[in-house]
Amino acid sequence: MTVRAQLIETINATLNGRAIAVPAGTSIAAAIMTHSGHCRIAESGEPRGPLCGMGICMECRATVNGIAHVRTCQTLLREGMEIVTG
């Protein structure tokens, strides 16, 4: 019996100026939570992150490739993307 290793494709991107790498098929929200811990800062100063995971609550918004208010829970990370939280 032969065991075949499955290669997992890695996607490289930039998060707040830092290089990150995650497995292909990862949402931007999951990548942010893995590498940063929050998607944005509320006006009250509290860190905010994905809540519903369906794009309804808008807590996962970030700037992606210069486009503000992208719902990161609904968007897969692609090679070379630039994500800015805050």
Q: Cβ distance 62 to 85 under 8 Å? A: yes
What architecture (CATH level 2) is domain 10-84? Answer: Roll (3.10)
Q: Mean pLDDT across the chain, nearest whole number?
A: 90
Q: Please tell me the least confidently modeled range out of 26-30, 37-41, 65-69, 76-80.
A: 37-41
Confidence of residue 1 (pLDDT cuts 50, 70, 90): low
In terms of pLDDT, which residue wins out, 53 or 80? 80
State whether residue 30 is helix, strand or coil: helix
The reported pTM is 0.85
* Residue 65 DSSP label: T
pLDDT digits (tens, 9 = 90+) for 6-42: 677 999 999 999 999 999 999 999 999 999 888 888 8
Residues 54, 15: Cα–Cα separation, whole Å: 22
Q: Cβ distance 23 to 10 under 8 Å? A: yes
